[in-house]
Each structure stands twice: as structure tokens, then as C-alpha cells.
Amino acid sequence: MTPEVRPLVAGNWKMNGTRGSLDQIKAISEGVRGGLSSKVDALICPPATLLYVATALCTDSPLSIGAQDCHQNASGAHTGDISAEMIADCFGTHVIVGHSERRTDHDEDDALVRAKAQAAHAADLTAIICIGETEEQRRNGETLDVLKRQLAGSIPDGANAARTVIAYEPVWAIGTGLTPTVADVEEAHAFMRRELSERFGEQGSTMRILYGGSVKPSNAKELMAIPNVDGALIGGASLKAEDFLAIYRVYEELMA
Ligand SMILES: O=C[C@H](O)COP(=O)(O)O
């Protein structure tokens, strides 16, 4: 955790979830009511097909709903894409950009991720900008160089802490059940904090840095307690309300 920074527990459903899954959103939106919601933010990013219905289910809940990607342009001839404005129009408040699956599957580079984050900001959305090293880069000792390059290239100038969240996701930890050691996460997050503070001053010192990659109820407390880890970006374990809420609730103990 970073002192004075409000944690964010975010779920990325990826290409999972149909109308039948809305029960899980309902259960999460009920589960995050209560005292902890005054100290910790909760967010679910379902597939775009569920976005509007999901926000409608959460109108009086502290649970925010976001999207998993947006186009860099506000509108136009881009078949199959959705814009940040469309997400805002569905009452979405956040959008994930630069997830490693987008970087790999769709050849997205830092410049494009930065343009998407800019589009998110222009639509008054919070951009969750994902970065992280591959297994090979870690093996070659390049982790911090990769993070430095991705931070520099993917975050727009003038980004502020209110509308920008960084998600550090080691690619090799996503969906594998593997996680870096506590010392490795601590080193990476301390490094990112220094980089952000140098570039953005006070805004960088309070910009949230999430950890993502095989976060589960069983390891969440240890990971969320690490300095400069300001929440989680959760894939698989966010699909079940029970698991997402168990992760969210580790803050009851961490903030007691
Ligand atoms: O966006 C979420 C991450 O890619 C983590 O996924 P995971 O929790 O299934 O490893």
C-alpha cells in the first residue's frame, strides 16, 4: 500500500461472461456495500456486450463498471471497435488499455496504448494502463528496463492520479498460477513509483499502481501488503463473486 492512496480492486473478465454471469455482478455489487467501500474502490470490467446492463445493475452500488479496451479515435470507420466516448455513454467509468493480451494478440505498441489512454482521458474515463515483462525479459534481467520503457511510452504527458492507474502484470504470471516473489514485486513497484514521481511529481507519488497476475484469495493479503501495491487487477478469480469479494476484503485486515 502507499500511504494516503486509496486502493482499487479491479476485475478483468476478459472474453468471459454472458447474460447468465450478471448474477455475479449483482453479487459483487451487493458484497462491496458497507464500511470498506469508503476506503477501497471496486471495479469490474466485463466484456463490452455486458457493459450497459452491468452499469444499470450498479446504479446505487459502490461497484464501478469499466471496459477492457477502447479505440484511440472518438468515432469513425473502425469496424468492431468501441470508443472511450461509447464506454462513457454506457456509464462506464474506467477502461483498461495496453493489456498484454492486446499487445500480443493485436500488436499494440506503447504509442498506441498512449493514444488510447489519451482517448480515455478525453472522455473523462480513468485509464488503467497495463505494463509488464515477459518471461524471457525477466530471465535476461531486463525487467526494470522494460518497465521504464513502457511507462515512458504508454502514459500520456500530463496524466494525473485521479484518471490514471498503472497495472503491473508480469506476462508470465497471467493465468499461470505463478507469481513473482514478494521481494520482486516490491522492487518493481518501488521502481515504478520512483519513475512516476520523477515524471509527474506529486501526481506520480499518488498514482495507483496495481499488481496483476494470478492474484487469488490465498495470496492477495501478502501481495496487497507490499509497499506501493495499491490494489489488484484480477483475471480468473474475478469471475466468481465469492473469490473477488474475498480478495477485496483482505483490506479489512490490512487497513484495520
Ligand atoms: O487483467 C488481469 C490479468 O491479466 C490477470 O489475470 P489472472 O488473474 O487470471 O492471472
List ligand 1's pocket residues with C-beta within 6 A. Answer: 12, 99, 169, 174-175, 212-215, 233-237
- Whether residue 53 lies inside any domain: the answer is no
- Whether residue 145 lies inside any domain: the answer is yes
What is the structure's pLDDT at 52?
98
**For a pocket test of ligand 1, which of 94, 169, 211 has the largest count of ligand atoms closer than 8 A to its C-beta?**
169
What is the structure's pLDDT at 202?
97
Quote the domain boundaries for residue 170: 136-220
What is the structure's pLDDT at 91?
98
* Nearest ligand 1 atom to alpha carbon 214: 10
C-alpha distances (whole Å) from 157 to each of 75, 86, 199 are 23, 24, 9
Number of structural domains in the chain: 1
**Can you tell me the distance from the alpha carbon of 178 to that of 9, in angstroms, rounded to the nearest whole number?**
19
Low-confidence ranges of the chain (pLDDT < 50): none
What is the structure's pLDDT at 133?
98
Query: Is 13 labeled as ligand-binding?
Result: yes
- Whether residue 103 lies inside any domain: the answer is no
ipTM of model: 0.99
- Whether residue 92 lies inside any domain: the answer is no
- Whether residue 74 lies inside any domain: the answer is no
- Whether residue 42 lies inside any domain: the answer is no
Nearest to 255 by CA among 36, 63, 62: 36
Give the residue ranges of DSSP H helices in the chain: 22-31, 51-57, 84-89, 100-105, 110-122, 135-139, 143-154, 182-200, 202-206, 220-224, 241-248, 250-254
pTM of structure:
0.98
What is the structure's pLDDT at 175?
96
- Whether residue 6 lies inside any domain: the answer is no
- pLDDT tens profile 210-249: 999 999 999 999 999 999 999 999 999 999 999 999 999 9
195 in catalytic set? no
Task: Return the residue whose CA atom lies nearest to atom 6 of ligand 1.
Answer: 235
- Whether residue 184 lies inside any domain: the answer is yes
* Nearest ligand 1 atom to alpha carbon 96: 1
